[in-house]
């Protein structure tokens, strides 16, 4: 199949665990699928759904560190009580540095949005600015027992890695709501999968996330 291969670089990146709010905020070593669709939405300037384009990706960084970050805390809301400002706090935030995201897209027309992004591209927080280094059209070859690495795939119990439950996407409302919460496997070592694609130019396997819109059935 024909696809776009996009190389994206960032000096820093952070993908916060949704369960950790205060004190210490660790980062996933690989961006969740929702982060990828958020980046695509920023490039296009409007919501890109998981049903609009199929994506595959791998992500690497040269290391990690911990920074101190000042946050503003709000709370106290309840019946007939608005949200109030509670004050500021200092937390430890883990981050990754010198990061590279290799992104594959099934929609070749997406090139025009990536060449001139509507909004700034981020790999995490507002300070984690990303830059597109290269966009190429490539041919992905369907292949069985292809090896993948440094990526996220749906959990099937057959591939070793960190198992997490994550939203695949979010609504674009002011108070975002998670969509398509699924169990995923973070693959940080070379692992074979039964069915995938192969990028012969870079000699590596690719898992393509393809979602079916149940509402259209």
Banded model confidence at residue 217, pLDDT cuts 50, 70, 90: very low
Nearest-angstrom CA–CA distance, 128 and 137: 27
Among 120-124, 156-160, 176-180, which is the least confidently predicted range? 176-180
Instruction: State mean pLDDT over 198-211.
Output: 95
**Domain assignment of residue 192, yes or no:** no
Could you tell me which of 94, 103, 170 has the C-alpha nearest to residue 128?
Answer: 94
**Domain assignment of residue 56, yes or no:** yes
**Domain assignment of residue 111, yes or no:** yes
> How far is C-alpha 77 from the chain's CA centre?
31
Kindly state the percentage of the chain with pLDDT values over 90.
Answer: 71
**Domain assignment of residue 147, yes or no:** no
| CATH at residue 137 | 3.30.70.2660
Find the domain containing 127 and state its range: 2-73+90-141+197-212
Return the residue matching tokens 């059935």.
217
**pTM of the predicted structure, to 2 decimals:** 0.89
Q: Cα angle at 95 between 157 and 148, to 5 degrees?
A: 35
Nearest-angstrom CA–CA distance, 33 and 40: 11
Nearest-angstrom CA–CA distance, 116 and 163: 35
**Domain assignment of residue 151, yes or no:** no
pLDDT, residue 214, reads 57
Instruction: State mean pLDDT over 31-47.
Output: 95
Nearest-angstrom CA–CA distance, 48 and 37: 6
**Better pLDDT: 171 or 144:** 144
- Is 28 in contact with 186 (CB distance < 8 Å)? yes
**Better pLDDT: 167 or 135:** 135
Q: Model confidence over 70-125: pLDDT tens digits?
A: 877 777 666 666 777 777 788 899 999 999 999 999 999 999 999 999 999 999 98
Q: How many domains does the chain have?
A: 1
**Domain assignment of residue 133, yes or no:** yes
CB burial of residue 117 (10 Å; 0-12, 13-18, 19+): middle
**Domain assignment of residue 183, yes or no:** no
């Amino acid at each position: 199949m024909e696809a776009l291969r996009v190389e994206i670089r960032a000096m820093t990146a952070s993908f916060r665990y949704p369960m950790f709010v205060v004190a210490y905020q660790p980062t996933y070593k690989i961006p969740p699928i929702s982060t990828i669709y958020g980046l695509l939405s920023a490039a296009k300037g409007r919501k890109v759904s998981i049903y609009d384009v199929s994506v595959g990706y791998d992500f690497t960084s040269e290391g990690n560190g911990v920074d101190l970050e000042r946050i503003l805390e709000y709370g106290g809301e309840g019946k007939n009580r608005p949200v109030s400002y509670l004050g500021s706090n200092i937390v430890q935030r883990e981050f990754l540095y010198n990061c590279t995201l290799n992104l594959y897209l099934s929609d070749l027309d997406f090139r025009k949005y990536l060449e001139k992004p509507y909004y700034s591209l981020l790999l995490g927080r507002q300070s984690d600015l990303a830059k597109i280094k290269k966009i190429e059209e490539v041919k992905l070859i369907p292949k069985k027992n292809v090896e993948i690495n440094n990526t996220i795939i749906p959990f099937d119990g057959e591939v070793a890695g960190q198992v997490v439950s994550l939203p695949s996407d979010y609504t674009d409302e002011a108070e975002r709501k998670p969509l398509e919460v699924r169990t995923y496997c973070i693959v940080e070592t070379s692992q074979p999968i039964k069915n995938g694609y192969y990028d012969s130019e870079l000699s590596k396997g690719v898992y393509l996330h393809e979602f079916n819109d149940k509402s259209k059935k």
